[in-house]
Amino acid sequence: MELEQAKITIQELRDKINEANNHYYVENAPLISDYDYDMLMNELIALEKEFPELVTEDSPTRKVGSDISDKPVQQRGSAKFAQYYHRYPMLSLGNTYNIQEIEEFAERASKSIGGVFTYSCELKFDGVAICLTYRDGVLYRALTRGDGTIGDDVTENVKHISNIPQKLSGIGWPQEFEIRGEIYMPYKAFDRLNQEREREEEQPFANPRNAASGSLKLIDPKEVGKRGLECTLYHVLGENLPFPTHDAALKSAMKWGLPVSDKRRICRNIVDIEEYIRYWDTERKLLPFATDGIVIKINELGHQRELGYTAKAPRWAVAYKFKAEQALSKVLSIDYQVGRTGAITPVANLEPAPLSGTIVKRASLHNADQMELLDIRVGDYAYVEKGGEIIPKITGIEESKRQPGTQKPVFPTVCPDCGATLVRNEDEAKWFCPNTDGCPTQIKGTLVHFLGRKAMNVIAGDATIEQFYNLGYVRNVADFYDLNAYQLLQLEGWKERSAQRFLTSLQESKETPFEHVLFALGIRYVGESTAKSIAKHFGDIDSIMKASREDLLKAPDVGEIIADSVVSWFADPKHIEIVDRLRKAGLKMKVGVADEMVSSVLADKTIVISGNFSVSRDEMKHLIEVNGGKNSGSVSSKTAFLLAGEKAGPEKLKKAADLGVQVISEEEFRAMLPSQDVKAEEAATTPAASNISIQLTLF
């Protein structure tokens, strides 16, 4: 793959993963299965390894998914929680579906440790991570994982979970310590909750994990207590703890009355580990709660410290994820659906079949190539899986049950929605409808994108867009700003309060920064970061509209594919009309004063930052940008200098030394900037990560 295509692919993967993270951790409504998510992540890891110059600090490969929401309280349907720094960052786990990779993990551990050691094997509970702090034997604080560094304070809600003690029993507990684990919802409570939601005509939760996450952040703690949540804890940490092993720590926690799983086992070798995995791959189906794998940890705490951590995961632990369950079901028919980007996806309609606690009736076939590979036909019996127990997919056909005379399905040549002739790019597997501005499904997809959280951030969902479109209220994004209260009150289910809330949100969107407006337009290949680069480079919409292909190629991070897409979009008179209407509606069409260049002292300099500073890392990156510099996530020969805060990454420091790249401190960096950029007052009021005792550990 060429560098230009790699840039686009990496950004697309990051956008997909970030969107999936938001839906999983914040919205509690997963878009894709765990398996498909892991495959996206593995593809991104492989590409970043091949093109290290494209690695950035904000890549999802280098940080954990965050459950912190920036939506207004009324939009989230949950409380606005106070937030606190984790004393020890909460990291994620490396995982695999391949037993061979577990064997490789064990082999690496054996070589690194050299002596005798053991493994602690535990069930991987499918819930939401929690961190409990006890002081003098009393529950002091409960934090969600958040972004791994900062979490939401859900202490009052956690106090209403029946098996979490507010006061410890027994003796010998430290004056202060943390213990981490999972809050989950047993199947009985999950079924009861979804039955209640269906009676109230509310959207049921996709699975117990999402139900647990949504329940933990309810506004009323008493309501949390009614949801039937439970907790299991699996990791004790603190200063100078007396335990030699992970297992000894958990045994002590059990004596103090804390809920620790009794399903764990100490294993001495890979044979024991594989036996444990095989046992629970079957027996887990009899458990009253959801599990999705096995966690294998080095048991001795001294060896854990020796092995250390990567950027986002410990080297002394790994998760083995169970393969999805299968069902065999008859294919009744095949539909062809149009996605919001115009991609045509075949979907098989199936004879209802029980699978992972639900009845499956439909499953994606992905694309024409996959259909050909499966050799699927109407009337066949297909093997169906629910990867991550969310989205069904067909993985194979039982040819012995195929009846004579079945015919191969013919993939459509025209769009099933608008009738346009389908097209397919050489390097893509999917067929697309090219009628971007005339295909109803694509129009609605553009409308949804425009109002999205990372775009204009207007309170509206898919159902609202469907109502607007079906009644002819909205046909393009500019139409939103012509809506009035009278129109909204004609919609089924809309009252004065909901109408006013939508119009207020729409009015507030006019303050959205220009780079978000540019992203909201939905120009193909122009993702969130690319829109920001283009906006900063050109300054306003008029300059972008006039820009030639060659002009666009001069903008940071813009290659030929993106440049061609931008030129093509603005060449359409309909799009120019939409931009003019949005301008008249009051949307920002130029970079704001706060985002304009302050100086050019860092012009033509590529800078890498690492460690903790007196202000947030985002603020440091902003200072670099407004003074003409460019941020990068990895040190290379093109790096002007490495800006190192406290606890800067040792790998970055080593690479800088190897390449002869200058390393400067925050004080030296600020001395390079105009005096008005020195934010001493911010340093005094911003919680500084450097003032926190950091010890990386597994959540």
Highest mean pLDDT among 66-70, 188-192, 691-695: 188-192
Would the pLDDT of 5 be above 90?
no
Burial of 593 by CB count in 10 Å (0-12 exposed, 13-18 middle, 19+ buried)?
A: exposed
417-428 residue pLDDT tens: 999 999 987 767
Order of strands across the sheet with 95-96?
Answer: 95-96, 317-321, 291-298, 119-125, 265-267
Determine the average pLDDT of the residues in 244-255. Answer: 96
Which CATH superfamily, name and number, covers 606-698?
A: BRCT domain (3.40.50.10190)
Q: Which fold is adopted by the domain 3-54?
A: Helix Hairpins (1.10.287)
pLDDT score recorded for residue 73: 34
DSSP structure class, residue 368: H
At 209, list the tokens.
């994990």
Class of domain 440-593: mainly alpha
Q: What's the helix, strand, coil split of the chain in %, to 5?
A: 40, 20, 40
Would the pLDDT of 276 be above 90?
yes
Q: What CA–CA distances, in Å, run from 46 to 309, 388, 636?
A: 19, 22, 19
Higher pLDDT, residue 312 or 347: 347
Confidence band of 203 (pLDDT split at 50, 70, 90): low
Would the pLDDT of 28 be above 60?
no
Would the pLDDT of 698 be above 90?
no
Domains 73-321 and 326-401 share a fold: no
Confidence band of 359 (pLDDT split at 50, 70, 90): confident
At 521, list the tokens.
């337009």
457-511 residue pLDDT tens: 898 878 889 999 999 999 999 999 999 999 999 888 888 888 998 999 999 999 9
Would the pLDDT of 568 be above 50?
yes
Would the pLDDT of 270 be above 70?
yes
pTM as predicted? 0.51
Would the pLDDT of 290 be above 60?
yes
Taking the C-alpha atoms of residue 599 and residue 339, their distance in angstroms, rounded to an integer, is 44
pLDDT score recorded for residue 114: 86
What CATH number was assigned to the domain covering residues 326-401?
2.40.50.140
pLDDT score recorded for residue 410: 92
The string over 406-443, giving b where at least 16 C-beta atoms fall within 10 Å of a residue's C-beta and e elsewhere, is eeebebeeebebbebebeeeeeeebbbbebbeebebbb
The string over 214-244, giving b where at least 16 C-beta atoms fall within 10 Å of a residue's C-beta and e elsewhere, is bbbbbeebeebbebbbbbbbbbbbbeeeeee
Determine the average pLDDT of the residues in 17-41. Answer: 72
Instruction: For 537-605, list the strands marked E by DSSP.
Output: none
Higher pLDDT, residue 158 or 493: 158
Count of C-beta atoms within a 10 Å radius of residue 684: 9
Comparing CA positions, the residue from 30, 22, 388, 75 lying closest to residue 210 is 30
**Mean pLDDT over all residues of the chain?**
85
Q: Which CATH architecture has domain 73-321?
A: 2-Layer Sandwich (3.30)
pLDDT score recorded for residue 696: 31
Determine the average pLDDT of the residues in 498-526. Answer: 91
Catalytic residue set? 124
Confidence band of 688 (pLDDT split at 50, 70, 90): very low
- Calculate ∠ Cα 623-625-631, nearest 5°: 105
Would the pLDDT of 61 be above 50?
yes
pLDDT score recorded for residue 677: 38
| Domain parsing of the chain, residue ranges | 3-54, 73-321, 326-401, 440-593, 606-698
437-449 residue pLDDT tens: 899 999 998 999 9
70-106 residue pLDDT tens: 433 333 344 468 889 999 888 888 888 889 999 999 9
Residues 529 and 562 sit within 8 Å (Cβ to Cβ) = no
